[in-house]
């Protein structure tokens, strides 16, 4: 009886060790890249052509939004006030406790691989390269041209060549940065964590896709980011469709202090729904991640889809009323506007005593 038992034991050991990677590979990894966590509608090139045919001759009226005046000197010198400045589209300058952070930086004229065609910027960046403070680190959500702009990241690296910003990127994007001569890069998988000084940098799942050509779809990862500093939590959703991922983010992190959530590029719904949220779903994400305050992004800069350029903020107002969200809890900003996030400031001793 001992020999058969020995053979059985050896077989089990061999079985357990024959494919060691299978039990370790996350479910969103595929043979050639990555996939989303949850089932959703998918669309092929034929659907894209159908969409293009439906919009032929129609077009969306281009609008140039007025830039808000800001104070670059204040931003360069600011070491104490928590602020957010909307540069445009998905680009924010976030300042908190002396650290300057950029999200998906895009400061050039087109979201395109070429300078003469592709989506054109209709509203100038709210900050120029010259007006930026020293950037400590940058978070990149994915490699689409309106979120990862080669000329912008190369110039950011160049103007700070003696002390370049640290770039945090999703898996498989680091090689692209290295080819641009940018070496201060770290890539993370979903739910992985890194550090920058006393910040914790968390990559979190969102529902989207990646690709910069017709041949590299989903070969690199996409993500959102949760940044944690002194118990304060910031969420940058990147670009996403609505999914159960956000409830899981809310469950893991408990409460988010400030979120940056897309509200634009959502029409037509039959084609955009799985990859781009509308304002109604943006409010759902605000609730899912237990966000105290949120700001809308991904609108008013490029014409990417079929809704009018002014529609996202209007539709956000309708969604907030539907879900009974106060105006100050989910707001939009002007391009270039700087807001002091007073709710993130620690109360002064005098204020505590007065209470």
Task: State residue 45's pLDDT score.
Answer: 85
Task: State residue 44's pLDDT score.
Answer: 85
Q: Helix or strand or coil: residue 233?
A: strand
Task: State residue 14's pLDDT score.
Answer: 39
Task: State residue 254's pLDDT score.
Answer: 95
Give per-residue pLDDT as tens, 175-229: 999 999 999 999 999 999 999 999 999 999 999 999 999 899 999 999 999 999 9
Domains along the chain with CATH numbers: 74-354 (3.60.15.10)
Place of tokens 């120029």: 128
Task: State residue 175's pLDDT score.
Answer: 98
- Residue 85: burial class (beta carbons within 10 Å; 0-12, 13-18, 19+): buried
Place of tokens 């983010």: 249
Task: State residue 23's pLDDT score.
Answer: 56
Q: Helix or strand or coil: residue 116?
A: coil
Q: Helix or strand or coil: residue 193?
A: strand
Q: What is the pTM of this model?
A: 0.91
DSSP 249-311: HHHHHS-EEEEEEE-----SHHHHTTTS--HHHHHHHHHHTTEEEEEEES-SS---SSS-TTH
Place of tokens 């009323």: 321
Q: Helix or strand or coil: residue 137?
A: strand
Task: State residue 8's pLDDT score.
Answer: 37
**304, 265 in Cβ contact below 8 A?**
yes
Q: Which residues contact 106 (CB under 8 A, 6 or more apart)?
A: 87, 88, 89, 90, 91, 125, 146, 147, 149, 152
Within the chain, which residues score under 70 in pLDDT? 1-23, 346-355
- Enumerate the H helices of the chain as residue ranges: 2-18, 45-54, 72-77, 150-159, 174-179, 245-253, 269-272, 279-288, 311-323, 349-354
Task: State residue 58's pLDDT score.
Answer: 85
CA separation (Å) from 314 to 243, 269, 279, 309, 311?
A: 23, 17, 9, 10, 5
């Amino acid at each position: 009886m001992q020999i058969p038992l020995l053979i059985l034991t050896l077989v089990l050991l061999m079985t357990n060790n024959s494919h060691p990677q299978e039990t370790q590979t996350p479910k969103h990894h595929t043979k050639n890249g990555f996939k989303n966590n949850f089932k959703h509608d998918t669309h092929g090139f034929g659907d894209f052509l159908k969409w293009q045919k439906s919009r032929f001759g129609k077009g969306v009226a281009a609008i140039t939004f007025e830039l808000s005046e800001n104070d670059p000197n204040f931003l360069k010198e600011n070491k104490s006030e928590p602020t957010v400045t909307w540069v445009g589209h998905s680009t924010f300058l976030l300042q908190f406790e002396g650290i300057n952070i950029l999200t998906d930086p895009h400061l050039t004229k087109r979201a395109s691989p070429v300078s003469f065609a592709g989506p054109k910027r209709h509203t100038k960046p709210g900050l120029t390269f010259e007006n930026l403070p020293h950037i400590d680190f940058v978070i990149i959500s994915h490699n689409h041209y309106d979120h990862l702009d080669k000329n912008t990241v190369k110039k950011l690296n160049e103007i700070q060549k003696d002390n370049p910003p640290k770039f945090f990127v999703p898996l498989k994007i680091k090689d692209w940065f290295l080819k641009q001569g940018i070496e201060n890069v770290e890539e993370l998988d979903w739910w992985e964590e890194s550090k920058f000084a006393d910040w914790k940098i968390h990559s979190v799942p969102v529902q989207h896709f990646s690709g910069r050509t017709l041949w590299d779809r989903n070969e690199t990862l996409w993500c959102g980011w949760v940044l944690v500093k002194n118990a304060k939590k910031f969420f940058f959703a990147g670009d996403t469709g609505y999914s159960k991922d956000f409830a899981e983010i809310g469950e893991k992190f408990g409460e988010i202090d400030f979120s940056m959530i897309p509200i634009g590029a959502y029409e037509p719904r039959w084609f955009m729904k799985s990859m781009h949220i509308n304002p109604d779903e943006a409010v759902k994400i605000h609730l899912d991640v237990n966000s105290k305050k949120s700001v809308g992004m991904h609108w008013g800069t490029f014409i990417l889809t079929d809704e009018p350029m002014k529609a996202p903020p209007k539709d956000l107002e309708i969604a907030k009323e539907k879900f009974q969200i106060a105006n100050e809890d989910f707001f939009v900003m002007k391009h270039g506007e700087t807001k002091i996030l007073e709710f993130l400031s620690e109360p002064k001793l005098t204020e505590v005593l007065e209470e």
